[in-house]
Amino acid sequence: MSDSATESRAHKILRAIEPLIYARRKLTMGILLIITAFFAWQASKIQPDAGFDKSIPLKHPYMQVYKQYQESFGGANTILVALMQKDGDIYNSKFLHRLKQVTDAVFFLPHIDRSQVQSLFTPNVTYIEVVEGGFFGTNVIPADYPAEGDATPEMLAKVKDHVGKANIIGRLVSNNQHGAIVQADLLEIDPVTGEKLDYGQVANLIEDKVRGHFASPDKFIYKAKHDIVVGKDYQRKLNSPFKDGDVLFKQGEVVTDGYVPYSPLKRWITDFSAARHLDDGSAVDVFVSGRLLDVEQVKNEDYTPDIEIHIVGFAKVVGDVIDATFQVVLFFLLTLVMTMILLWLYVGNFKLAVLPLVCSITAVIWEFGLLRMFGKGLDPFAILVPFLILAVSVSHGVQYVNAWVGEIADNGRNSFDASLFTWRRLAIYGTMAIMTDVAGFAMIGLIPVGIIQEMALNACLGMLAIIITNKVMMPIWLTWVGVGDPKAFKAKQDRRDGIFDGVWRLLSNMTNPKAAVTALVICAVLLGLGLWKGKDLQIGDSQKGVPELLPDSRYNNDNAAIVSNFALGTDLIKVIAETDADACINSGVMDQIYHMAWTLDNTKGVQSTLSLPELSRLVYSIFVEGSPKFYVLARNKDALGQAIKPIAPPTGMLNESCSAMPVWTFLGDHRATTIKRVVDVVKDFGDTNSKEFFETHKDVDAKYCDAKNEARRDLGTQKLKLQHMTEVLHKKGLSDDQVNADSGIAAQQKTLGDADDKLKGMDKQCPVNFALASGNVGVMAATNELVEQLEKRILLYVYIAIIICVYLSFFEWQSLVSIMLPLALVSWLAYAVMAVLGIGMKIATLPVVALAVGIGVDYGIYVYATLADACAGGYTLKEGYFKTLKMTGKAVVFTGITLGFGVATWLFSGLQFQRDMGKLLVFMFTANMFGAILILPAIASFLLKPRKLAPGEKPVMVSRH
């Protein structure tokens, strides 16, 4: 059916490559082993690499706003530490002392944005009180509060009084005043050193120095096992004051202490932060590997069982996911072992069972090695990719071994010939199937989110590695595998093969018109069902808390405790009101912002809002002796100026020039529907507000103001670019002077100046631009919009890529219909399954779509190729399909069942994310298997026409390549 020119081209390619593999097998294998050893060495150095910035769609307009104002209004990368007194309120010396200690501990964590730390003990938290003739404002904790020892009851009463007046109940103090919060923001890139935050390490530090310090009954002292020498045990950093050969810590010297018990394994892989004191009294932070340390357990004097500590934040989630990595890997191993045992049962030969696994593990080693060489680490949220590589590799490996056994048993060839003939028959189909996966993943990489692009790269590298390990390594190895007496082997295989003949015979009826039509009708019904249920698929999160972790995990319990005790909770979206400099004394502008906040306040799902106009009301009323009748937005410019004055930029309510003011909007949850509702309200309000503005301000129009908004965004973008360039140079170790002298920096400064002039030139007043969005929910909003917008399109691209690849494999339209239809059906059903299981479509689950297609296409190509070969060889459809099932079909069934069982163990994982993926994968592995062996032949039976045999001619099984 394919044209002869292609066939000969395929032949030519095969003939050209064959000698590379089969001519000098030992040499080739040797080279492969050396490369594998090199990659293994590279892979051993791979680091977990989590990142907040790469998990957000930085190109999305919301995120440009977020980055532009991150410096002024903090980011979304927040950490909340809540201390809850078990009995009684927070107004006792011990609690307040602990709160101060936690505040200090948080303050000194690496990469903390220290200006944004807030608790009762930080100077940016104050209150105002009315007195005759004016008013009075100062810190909530009085200046004479004792640093050590107990505070007097009068002092505690004063603190309580101030807390009431500062209006922080519900945010920094719990609703019933039994708890208090320390809030902080993490900076992913240190602006001074340009270094990237290590989330795992920060999470460990928070767990240890903050929670462990008070919640653990034990304390652990870490001492040097032997002299720790710079250069040998400790790698110097840039600008390090040490020389190679310096002794950092002497043997037995206390290096650091901690409060959280580490398992020996975890201690081995953890770097402990320690302070090395220099002769001049200053201290340098160093990180010392746990394997150099001895641990001694003592009693923790600061153990405070009557205070509970809850911690939430992205860093903590990453930490918990990394902590679970060990378990994830354990489940992978379990899956592997199960696969191996089943494989052994299947081929009845241990050597042959191990082979596909060894090749698969080699592929993963290559994948890690390549990833590391690309300068990437393994993201904890992409931990499933290696397993996916393993699964695809096993699927191909089983096909290969299966075919090889067939060559020996059925055609009586020796190991070498069997390998060669298998190679000739499967190399092109197998490679095309893998290339199809590569194309699919490359398409996923079109999603402009760092983590997904990394995942796509990761998967593509792995797939390419599979081509080498499965199409080069395995064939060579198989030439060396002896099967003993070929006759006995054949007899054994025939006997084993015969067991399922009844099943295959039954399944081959799928090609009967009646069965085929029935199957197609069932498919149509399923498709309808899938489309109907799939509509319920949520974009984003569909539950409270963090969906990656179990609902009853400590993190989600912490989250629930904070949400239930503090009115404001943890879900925040900041709408940035953008306008001109000094706009906060313009009552017209402030009125627009105030009205936006009030509209949000009245939106379902919004708990409350906080904004500069709102705050100005309190100060204004205080200026008028506290009268509630002046608890309004001041109408007069000067009065407004006075009301704004006490509210400084560090509060996060306005920027330095007062040209941007965020409306902090606290939500009850972060369900996708809630986020969408809030976003829609903001957009609608902006539109209506602009329209009303243009009606009363005839000197400007939408076009002018759109251009002005664009100029403002451009200014922000240029600023960020300059900042980024500076960070990069800092990271290279350049000093400030050197950075300023850099020509690129100078050019960027000029561009920035031009952008600034352009915006300043547009001095006509425009309606307030309500820009979305910052805060953790702002990030979610952007991500959800992106996923919603791209999900269908990316799926389309994936399908187009696969269609092209499948067509290139067979050069016939029948292959497309037969392979793609079952695949499409499973994709739609996968959506329905996600909807039913309550798994939202989000960044982490998006690649699953490609995964489903990737696994399914392998099955389809193998089954279709053999069936089409059989038909071309003159077999009737039914006989041909029986033959197919015996040759490739049983391997498909086996792979589907094996991988399905393997991932079913994930349902017991400690990570909700892995559980969810487990459920989805079980469905996909088995559904695709059924699609390939039940639906594919049903469709093909209408499309493939068996070759008419001449009288007396026997049908033959020949590869059409």
Q: Which residues pair with 432 in a beta bridge?
A: none
Q: Write a three-state SS string for 769-820.
A: EEEEEECHHHHHHHHHHHHHHHHHHHHHHHHHHHHHHHHHHHCCHHHHHHHH
864-887 in b/e form (b: 16+ CB < 10 A) is: bbbbbbbbbbbbebbbbbbbbbbb
Provide, rounded to whole angstroms, the least separation between the CB of residue 770 and another protein: 14
Provide, rounded to whole angstroms, the least separation between the CB of residue 622 and another protein: 9
User: Would you state the structure tokens that stand for residue 692, as one six-digit string?
Assistant: 């009303």
Residue (16 or 131) nearer to another protein, CB: 131
Provide, rounded to whole angstroms, the least separation between the CB of residue 88 and another protein: 19
710-736 in b/e form (b: 16+ CB < 10 A) is: ebbbbbbbbbbebbebbbebbeeebee
Question: Which secondary structure element, helix H or strand E, spans residue 275, and what is its range?
Answer: strand 271-277
Residue (417 or 601) nearer to another protein, CB: 601
Provide, rounded to whole angstroms, the least separation between the CB of residue 939 and another protein: 55
Residue (73 or 220) nearer to another protein, CB: 73
Residue (180 or 798) nearer to another protein, CB: 180
Residue (662 or 860) nearer to another protein, CB: 662
Question: Which secondary structure element, helix H or strand E, spans residue 308, and what is its range?
Answer: strand 307-313
Residue (87 or 132) nearer to another protein, CB: 132
Backbone angles phi, psi at 196, to 5 degrees: -90, 140
To 5 degrees, how large is the angle CA 108–CA 112–CA 117? 85
Provide, rounded to whole angstroms, the least separation between the CB of residue 82 and another protein: 16
Residue (486 or 626) nearer to another protein, CB: 626
- Residues whose CB falls within 8 Å of the CB of residue 825, separated by 6 or more in sequence, listed in order: 523, 526, 527, 530, 931, 935
Provide, rounded to whole angstroms, the least separation between the CB of residue 605 and another protein: 12
Residue 400 Cα distances to 17, 372, 891, angstroms: 18, 29, 9
Residue (342 or 653) nearer to another protein, CB: 653
Nearest to 854 by CA among 201, 406, 475, 396: 396
Nearest to 83 by CA among 217, 210, 216, 219: 210
Residue (628 or 951) nearer to another protein, CB: 628
Residue (48 or 668) nearer to another protein, CB: 668
Residue 118 Cα distances to 90, 107, 173, 175, 189, angstroms: 17, 9, 11, 17, 21
Q: Write the single-letter amino acid at 845.
A: T
Q: Which residues pair with 309 in a beta bridge?
A: 83
Cβ atoms of 578 and 68 within 8 Å: the answer is: no
Residue 778 Cα distances to 53, 124, 490, 768, angstroms: 13, 24, 65, 19
Q: Where are the beta strands (DSSP E) in 125-246?
A: 126-131, 134-139, 179-185, 218-224, 228-229
Provide, rounded to whole angstroms, the least separation between the CB of residue 563 and another protein: 14
Q: Where are the beta strands (DSSP E) in 571-728?
A: 571-578, 606-610, 660-667
Provide, rounded to whole angstroms, the least separation between the CB of residue 634 and another protein: 9
- Residues whose CB falls within 8 Å of the CB of residue 16, separated by 6 or more in sequence, listed in order: none
Q: Which residue has the tokens 């191993």?
A: 333
User: Would you state the structure tokens that stand for residue 469, as one six-digit string?
Assistant: 């390990």
Provide, rounded to whole angstroms, the least separation between the CB of residue 696 and another protein: 6
Provide, rounded to whole angstroms, the least separation between the CB of residue 668 and another protein: 11
**What count of residues does the chain have?**
961
Residue (176 or 411) nearer to another protein, CB: 176
Provide, rounded to whole angstroms, the least separation between the CB of residue 606 and another protein: 9
Going 235 to 237 to 240 to 244, the CA torsion angle's sign is positive
Q: Which residues pair with 221 in a beta bridge?
A: 257, 296
Provide, rounded to whole angstroms, the least separation between the CB of residue 565 and another protein: 12
Residue (370 or 653) nearer to another protein, CB: 653
Provide, rounded to whole angstroms, the least separation between the CB of residue 109 and another protein: 20
Provide, rounded to whole angstroms, the least separation between the CB of residue 248 and another protein: 39
Residue (599 or 783) nearer to another protein, CB: 599
Cβ atoms of 958 and 871 within 8 Å: the answer is: no
Residue (482 or 650) nearer to another protein, CB: 650
Q: Write the single-letter amino acid at 390.
A: L
Residue (239 or 696) nearer to another protein, CB: 696
Provide, rounded to whole angstroms, the least separation between the CB of residue 758 and another protein: 22
